[in-house]
A and B are shown apart, each in its own frame.
Chain A
Amino acid sequence: MFLLLPFDSLVVNLLGISITVLFTLLLVFIIVPAIFGVSFGIRKVYMKTLLKIFQWATLRIERGAKEKNHPLYKPYVNGIIAKEPTSLEEEIKEIRRSGSGKALDTPEFELSDIFYFCRKGIETIMDDEVTKRFSAEELESWNLLSRTNYNFQYISLRLTVLWGLGVLIRYCFLLPLRIALAFTGISLLVTGTTVVGYLPNGRCKEFLSKHVHLMCYRICVRALTAIITYHDRENRPRNGGICVANHTSPIDVIILASDGYYAMVGQIHGGLMGVIQRAMVKACPHVWFERSEVKDRHLVAKRLTEHVQDKSKLPILIFPEGTCINNTSVMMFKKGSFEIGATVYPVAIKYDPQFGDAFWNSSKYGMVTYLLRMMTSWAIVCSVWYMPPMTRQVSEEILDCLTCLFGPWLLLNSFVLPQPEEDAVQFANRVKSAIARQGGLVDLLWDGGLKREKVKDTFKEEQQKLYSKMIVGNHEDRSRS
């Protein structure tokens, strides 16, 4: 036991020195730039190196698979079966056309109609558009993480060594570094905002609050090794507007907030999140709701409207999908935020899953597991596009009055009346399509809530109605003949 003592102190010394060195490096290379918003470009170099390694690994795997004659598993993002984009009517007519020589425009029932429903049903069993959005996207080439390893069997020693090295680097070097940074960032946020909260309201407080927020978010960004490319920053949201973005994970908030100063909207949580939320609201007016208030849509709308109408208040950040989607598509936007009548600033966020998939599968992983997974990936790489603001098309009520009074005169002079008013749902869809187009995502009309809930019967009833039109009217024709 006595022999251990000198050895013990040596170990302690070494540990002490390495921790000091680590923290100095941390401070100089990461925290100080974060405070001032500059970057050394270390992360970009890191990303380029990783890309080269991945390319090598992919080639190696393909070569190895060919040598051993193993079939290679290639995931396809665009679906695995050929689907015809024809409508119910067209398809059924085609089936009937090939079956009988009867006139096509007489609506009636044919036994062959069932083929349409049958095939459509089986197609959706093999590959459907919705369920695959709720699980992480499959990668086309391996990125040396065992979590994305589908079928990549042992190919070569070098590859395995590389993977092992990767594990070592990620878990023993990057993870502690990131946890230290995250810890620093969060504690600075809580203490900073609480301190700023004690100041009297005024320009000084606003200035400090903005910079405390930005600084802490930047530290958190580095804690995740997030490499973000911002496009079109001149379109950044302004006061009195609503910033709308597609939702992939809670990290979206950190990514957007590190480049702009927003008012957050959300439910008050307990635990650490609650502490952070309560501290933040001391420094600047975020909109937090109690659990009970969330159910009351009118109350929510009222509070948001009040916030938006006050021009001195910050733009609100909202994710209208309501849940995390896996970043291959954009699902239905809930109309609540579009009813308020403020200017909407759409933002498209697209992650590159090659370095680490940011999607939070909340039914599979809890928050802590998710954060650990994020911190043990290589990096989070994403692109953010700020898009030009959009507004709901103007009300026609006044123009209607004018038309009544001056109708004939307007017609005579061939006045072209502007577009009809769109309702919140149409506006939401318009914004959604714009975001989908910009981010290169699939635009879906399905509700993200389908992750957990069953689909509404109204959709089935629509299909039934469409089909009924094809077979009804039978008797009117019969009575004529």
Chain B
Amino acid sequence: VSHSQITRLYSRFTSLDKGENGTLSREDFQRIPELAINPLGDRIINAFFPEGEDQVNFRGFMRTLAHFRPIEDNEKSKDQNGPEPLNSRSNKLHFAFRLYDLDKDGKISRDELLQVLRMMVGVNISDEQLGSIADRTIQEADQDGDSAISFAEFVKVLEKVDVEQKMSIRFLH
């Protein structure tokens, strides 16, 4: 990320920080109308806050946003011994996995999938229909027969999806 991009994001961070205390709370995020109308808005906001905390500082803000950096070609050939960059394909998939995995136990259970589906469709689909959709999805993805989707199974299902492009945000220059 270039210096000017960081400056711009910092400017954004401060404009969202209405309390001017250097951290953002959940209310600060909910004040963005376009985010408030996103059916998964609350789950996304949650992704910024580490376990049990209610405030996120600029560092945490950047860390979460870093998942959405586009993957550059020269990074793919980088030294494999270093820690994986936050915007790798695997980490992007992990970010999406965490949106489904409500209790953070590393598995998407039927209940969790149902809850997330309910968030996405609102009141427009009945419980039975939603239940059968959830069942079918787990059935198709589940390989070790535990009626839940683990991260590995999640990755397998989405192996053909162009994650790099769909979960990346480019800066304008």
Contact = CB atoms under 8 A, between A and B. Distances in A.
Interface string B28-51: 011111111111110010000000
Contacts of A455: 33, 36-37
B99 interface: yes
Nearest to A111: B157
A89 interface: no
A471 interface: yes
Interface of B: 3-5, 7-9, 11-12, 15-16, 29-41, 44, 65, 68, 95-96, 99-100, 116-117, 120-125, 129, 132-133, 136-137, 141, 149, 154, 157-158, 160-163, 166-172
A128 B15 contact: no
A130 B34 contact: yes
A472 B37 contact: no
A171 interface: no
Interface-centre pick from B33, B122, B171 (highest chain A CB count, 10 A): B33
Main secondary structure, interface of A, reads helix
A115 B96 contact: yes
Contacts of A99: 158, 160-161
Contacts of A132: 15
Contacts of A291: none
Given A71-B3, A472-B129, A467 B95 contact: no
Contacts of B157: 111
Interface residues of A, number: 57
A285 interface: no
Interface in A437-467: 446, 450, 454-455, 459-465, 467
Interface string A83-114: 00000000000010011100000001101111
A464 B7 contact: no
20 contacts: A82-B169, A98-B160, A109-B117, A109-B133, A109-B136, A114-B40, A114-B100, A120-B38, A122-B44, A124-B35, A124-B38, A128-B34, A131-B16, A131-B32, A150-B11, A460-B37, A460-B39, A464-B39, A467-B39, A474-B132
Nearest to A135: B15
B7 A151 contact: yes
Contact of B65 (A113, A122, A131, A135): A122
Contact of A114 (B4, B15, B35, B99): B99
Contacts of B124: 464-465, 468, 472
Given A81-B172, A82-B169, A465-B122, A117 B129 contact: no
Contact of B34 (A74, A116, A129): A129
Contacts of B34: 120, 124, 128-130
B32 A115 contact: no
Contacts, number: 169
A133 to B, nearest CB: 11
Given A80-B171, A98-B161, A472-B129, A460 B38 contact: yes
Lowest 10 CB-CB distances: which A-B pairs, in order? A464-B122, A468-B124, A99-B161, A121-B44, A124-B34, A459-B37, A455-B33, A468-B121, A117-B40, A98-B162
Contacts of A109: 117, 133, 136-137
Interface of A: 71, 73-74, 76, 78-82, 95, 98-100, 108-109, 111-132, 135, 150-151, 446, 450, 454-455, 459-465, 467-468, 471-472, 474-475
Contacts of A117: 38-40, 44, 120
Contacts of B132: 474-475
A128 B121 contact: no
B158 A112 contact: yes
Main secondary structure, interface of B, reads helix
A124 B32 contact: yes
Nearest to A108: B133
A465 B124 CA distance: 6
Given A81-B171, A465-B124, A471-B133, A126 B35 contact: no
Contacts of A112: 158, 161, 166
A244 to B, nearest CB: 24
Nearest to B118: A464
Nearest to B5: A80
A415 B23 CA distance: 65
Contact of B137 (A111, A121, A465): A111
A79 B35 contact: no
Given A118-B40, A129-B34, A461 B122 contact: yes
A130 B166 contact: no
B12 A127 contact: yes
B29 to A, nearest CB: 7
A121 B38 contact: yes
B113 to A, nearest CB: 9
A151 B154 CA distance: 45
B29 A125 contact: yes
Contact of B96 (A114, A463, A465): A114
A467 B116 CA distance: 13
Contacts of B4: 71, 73-74
A463 B37 contact: yes
Contacts of B68: 119, 122
Nearest to A469: B124
Contacts of A465: 122, 124
